[in-house]
Amino acid sequence: MSLLARGAEPPRDCPLCPRLYAFIAGWRMREPDWFNAPVPTFLPAGGEAAARVLIVGLAPGLRGANRTGRPFTGDYAGTLLYETLIRFGFARGRFEARPDDGLELVDAAITNAVRCVPPENKPETTEIRTCREHFLVPTVARFPNLKAIVTLGKIAHDSTVRSLGLPLRAIPFIHGAEGEAGPLRVFSSYHCSRYNTNTGVLTEEMFVDVFRRVREYLGGVGE
Ligand code: URA
């Protein structure tokens, strides 16, 4: 498929961001058994039509999603995220930080604003924009029954709001805030990174509260 075709998933050798392409190429040499490629969206067991909430993270962690190939799998951020999703019925099974742990998403899909691991977890503005235009815009549009989006951190939040065709002032990034984007409700959270939880920027209770409200908004099973 042409890179300019509006598929929601980047090809394994996506060349659109030369810096990220070179970074991954270096890690392919060093760690040939790692995934080392753009990380695809994690879909619910029922496929695209089953996703009512989309969770948008920042980018794969080097030794997390970039190593394992599944968003938020293999680094600290995933433990809090997946435990919270299981608690509110957005995932079932056991999270064991391996892509073959059998964990299934329910009602939910997980993607990243930037699909390739960036050096030092810091994507550049052009990389965020390129990945948005090519992949985040079609990802947000691919779920026919989507009702809610949870954005994790300001970079993911701002790129998601832009991908919805809105100016940032329409839904400013504030932890715990909610905003309307047409038929979608956007829930914003601080990123569940180890740095944010270690420094107390984000407590487990603050994070859990966001997903409690998403569950209330969508109705159905949960805690
Ligand atoms: N892993 C991801 O896939 N995304 C993040 O934002 C952090 C860790």
Q: Is the beta carbon of 75 within 6 A of some atom in ligand 1?
A: yes
Residue 13 placed within a domain? no
Residue closest by Cα to atom 1 of ligand 1: 72
Helices (H) and strands (E) in the chain, counts: 8, 7
pLDDT at 6: 52
Tell me the Cα Rg of the chain.
16
Residue 134 placed within a domain? yes
**How far does residue 74's CA lie from ligand 1's centre (Å)?**
9
Range of the domain at 114: 18-217
Give the nearest ligand 1 atom to 57 CA: 6
Residue 4 placed within a domain? no
pLDDT at 3: 42
Give the nearest ligand 1 atom to 113 CA: 6
> What is the SS3 assignment for 92?
strand
- From first to last of the 223 residues of the chain, give the pLDDT tens digit: 334 445 799 999 999 999 999 999 999 999 999 999 999 999 999 999 999 999 999 999 999 999 999 999 998 999 999 999 999 999 999 999 999 999 999 999 999 999 999 999 999 999 999 999 999 999 999 999 999 999 999 999 999 999 999 999 999 999 999 999 999 999 999 999 999 999 999 999 999 999 999 999 998 655 5
pLDDT at 1: 35
pLDDT at 7: 78
Q: Is the beta carbon of 69 within 6 A of some atom in ligand 1?
A: no
Nearest to 159 by CA among 61, 77, 57: 57
pTM of the model: 0.95
Residue 185 placed within a domain? yes
Residue 2 placed within a domain? no
Q: How many CB atoms lie within 10 A of CB 81?
A: 26
Residue 170 placed within a domain? yes
Residue 5 placed within a domain? no
pLDDT at 126: 98
pLDDT at 114: 98
User: Tens digits of per-residue pLDDT, 85-144?
Assistant: 999 999 999 999 999 999 999 999 999 999 999 999 999 999 999 999 999 999 999 999
Give the nearest ligand 1 atom to 58 CA: 6
The DSSP bridge partners found for residue 187 are 150, 178
Residue 192 placed within a domain? yes
Domain count within the chain: 1
For residue 123, the domain's CATH number is: 3.40.470.10
**How far does residue 61's CA lie from ligand 1's centre (Å)?**
5
